[in-house]
A and B are shown apart, each in its own frame.
Chain A
Amino acid sequence: MATTSIPASQAPGSTTKLNYLNNGHTLRSWLLTTDHKRIALLYLLSVTAFFFLGGFFAMLIRLELLTPEGDLMQADTYNKVFTMHGMIMVFFFLIPVVPAVLGNFLVPLMVGAKDLAFPRINLLSWYLYVIAGALFLHCMLNGGVDTGWTFYTPYSTAASNTNVIEAGLAVFIVGFSSIFTGLNFIVTIHRMRAPGLTWSRLPLFIWAHYATSLIMILGTPVVAITIVLVAVERVFHLGIFDPRLGGDPLLFQHLFWFYSHPAVYIMILPSMGVISELITCFSRKRVFGYKFVALSSIAIAVIGFLVWAHHMFVAGISLYAAMVFSFLTFLVGVPSAVKVFNWTATLYKGSITYATPMLYAFGFIGLFTIGGLTGLFLGTLGIDVHVTDTYFVVAHFHYVMVGGVVMGFLGGMHFWWPKITGRMYPEYWARLSALLVFVGFNLTFFPQFVLGYVGMPRRYWQYPPEFQVLNVLSTAGASVLAVGYILPMIYFLWSLRYGPIADANPWNAAGLEWQTASPPPTFNFDQTPVVTWEAYNYDEIPEKELEAPVAQ
Chain B
Amino acid sequence: MAEPEHNVDPDLTIEHEHTTHSNAFYIAIGAILLVLTVTTAAVAFVNLGPFNPVVALLIATIKATLVVLFFMHVKGASEKLTGAVVVSGFFFLAILLSLSLADYLTRNWR
Contacts and interface: CB of A to CB of B under 8 A. Distances in A.
Interface stretch (B5-13, B30-38, B43-51, B68-76): B5-13
A318 B7 contact: no
A309 B99 contact: yes
A15 B104 CA distance: 62
B17 interface: no
Contacts, number: 82
B96 interface: yes
Interface stretch (A30-38, A445-453, A466-474, A531-539): A30-38
B88 A218 contact: yes
Nearest to A28: B3
Contacts of B6: 33-35, 119, 522
A254 B100 contact: yes
A439 interface: no
Which of B1, B7, B99 has the most chain A CB atoms closer than 10 A to its own CB?
A: B99
Contacts of A255: 96
B4 A306 contact: no
A342 B106 CA distance: 40
Interface string A237-251: 000000000000011
A540 B73 CA distance: 47
A334 interface: no
A255 B96 CA distance: 8
Nearest to B100: A254
Interface in A270-306: 305-306
Contacts of B4: 23-24, 29, 522
A317 B103 CA distance: 6
Contact of A29 (B1, B7, B11): B1
A314 B12 CA distance: 51
A324 B99 contact: yes
Interface in B38-81: 81
A324 B11 contact: no
A219 B91 CA distance: 12
A25 interface: yes
A528 interface: yes
Given A28-B3, A258-B96, A321-B103, A190 B12 contact: no
Chain A interface SS verdict (over half): helix
Contacts of A316: 107, 109
Interface in A501-523: 522-523
A187 B103 contact: no
Nearest to A23: B4
Contacts of B104: 318
A222 interface: yes
Contacts of A320: 102-103, 106
Contacts of B81: 190
Nearest to A120: B7
A81 interface: no
Given A26-B1, A35-B6, A222-B96, A318 B12 contact: no
A114 B6 CA distance: 10
A29 B92 contact: no
B96 A318 contact: no
B89 to A, nearest CB: 7
12 contacts: A26-B1, A29-B1, A33-B6, A113-B11, A115-B9, A117-B14, A192-B11, A250-B103, A306-B95, A309-B99, A317-B107, A320-B106
Interface of A: 23-26, 28-29, 32-35, 113-115, 117, 119, 187, 190-192, 214, 218-219, 222, 250-251, 254-255, 258, 305-306, 308-309, 316-321, 324-325, 522-523, 528
In order of increasing CB-CB distance, the 3 nearest A-B pairs are A321-B103, A320-B106, A318-B106
